Amino acid sequence: MNLYQLGIKQAQLNYFKEKYSNDFQLGRISFVAKNHFKVLTISGEFKAEITQKLVHNDAIPAIGDWVVINNLDDFKLIIDILPRISELKRQSKKHESLNQYIATNLDEVFVVMGLDDDFNLNRLERYIIQITESRANPVVILNKLDAVDYYDDKVKLVEDRVVDVPIIVTSVTKNINVEQIKNRFYEGMTATLVGSSGVGKSSIANILIGNDALKINSTRESDSKGRHTTTHRGLYLLEDNGIIIDTPGMRSLSLSADKENIDNSFGDIKKLAQNCKFKDCAHKDEPGCKVQEAILSGVLDVNRYDNYLKVLKEVAFNESKTSKKAASEKKKEWKNVAKSNRKRNKVKY
């Protein structure tokens, strides 16, 4: 096992070598639960803790992060986080203004959506915006094709709605097209799976890992009750090449993308709007409105336009919520976590 197989990129390795001596080691965060961390190194997986300095700077490692470790007697101390090649966030509910990292250093993000009742184009579009913002490449997996009689229409709807994003239509339980997911991986590639609870994320991860490492929901009935089978994010090495991060299902995704990014994701609408007769056109019933013209002539999907407006509103709202107060609350919480960590260590060692 070498660092490249664990997913490090050359620029990150160069950064580490320039900044740190041989006394330090690199590891990748493979598990996070409150103040508990695990790091995967070239010699195995270890428990680790973070320094006060990181806590103080609100630099809390996320799953997928490359971290610098200092080997102390009995435990690994995380002293730094390497710059990330990508970071997938969502707006945190608890600490309103703070972004919560779903996973970092991702090459691709698979959005898994069920072709059954889970199917929702607006939600899918939001995921794709957030993934684009993360700097990773989105891939859509439409799963459970065996659970519906007819799915061509749904696939077509997705193709029309998300442009330039690969779409894979699968049945994981019937093993249909699963190799299309497998084939995307190469040495050092990291991907994560996101989507609602019960869509089959852990089932896909198990196939990629090559054994039943992850617990999956055995009764489909319980999915609808909102029970989450996966409760923690975990990073795993694949049977062949690559790394997968499994995540618990999300009911919704609160956007943290900025306006510019949203305009990029809806470039077609922006282009239309630039040609409206009036500069300050609200695209409602103004004469010479190219957006409304496109909707009427069927060039622009009205649902896509509605979702664009919704997304813009939400982002504006989230931005207005951002306050220093929430940031300092988060800092306080981590200080307490670190304190209890120290106490625990005193007892233990």
Ligand X SMILES: Nc1nc2c(ncn2[C@@H]2O[C@H](COP(=O)(O)OP(=O)(O)OP(=O)(O)O)[C@@H](O)[C@H]2O)c(=O)[nH]1
Two tokens, residue 164: 């330039």
Q: Could you tell me which residues come within 8 angstroms of residue 215 by beta carbon, excluding any fewer than 6 positions away?
A: 202, 229, 230
98 or 205, CB closer to Mg ion?
A: 205
Asked if 192 touches ligand X (CB under 6 A), the answer is no
Residue 148 or 302 with smaller CB distance to Zn ion: 302
The DSSP code sequence of 68-124 is: EEEE-SSSEEEEEEPPPS-EEEEE-SSSTTSEEEEEES-SEEEEEEESSTT--HHHH
Is there a contact between 277 and 289 (Cβ–Cβ < 8 Å)?
yes
Helices (H), the chain: 10-19, 52-56, 121-134, 152-161, 178-182, 201-209, 259-265, 267-274, 290-296, 302-321, 324-348
Quick check: 230 binds Mg ion (CB under 5 A)? yes
Residue 141 or 291 having the CB closest to Zn ion = 291
Contact between 202 and ligand X (CB under 6 A)? yes
- Contact flag: residue 228 with ligand X (CB under 6 A): yes
Give the angle subtended at the CA of 134 by the CAs of 130 and 135, to the nearest 5°: 125
Residue 289 contact among Zn ion, Mg ion, ligand X, none, beta carbon within 5 to 8 Å by kind: Zn ion
Residues in the chain: 349
Shortest distance, CB of residue 175 to ligand X, whole angstroms?
9
Positions in 239-258 near ligand X (CB under 6 A): 248-249
Of 132, 134, 202, 292, the one binding Mg ion (CB under 5 A) is 202
Residue 319 CB coordination number (10 Å): 12
The pair of structure tokens assigned to 30 is 């493979």
The amino acid at residue 44 is: G
Stretch of 74-82, 86-94, 201-209, 317-325 lying at the interface with Mg ion (CB under 5 A): 201-209
Query: Binding residue for ligand X (CB under 6 A) from 172, 191, 235, 300?
Result: 172
Contact partner, 276, from ligand X, Mg ion, Zn ion, none, Cβ < 5-8 Å per class: Zn ion
Contact residue for Zn ion among 38, 201, 283, 304 (CB under 5 A) = 283
How far, in Å, CA of 204 to CA of 185, rounded? 13
Subset of 288-307 contacting Zn ion (CB under 5 A):
289, 291
Applying CB under 6 A, the residues found at the interface with ligand X are: 143-144, 146-147, 171-173, 197-203, 216-218, 220, 223, 228-230, 248-249
Applying CB under 5 A, the residues found at the interface with Mg ion are: 201-202, 229-230
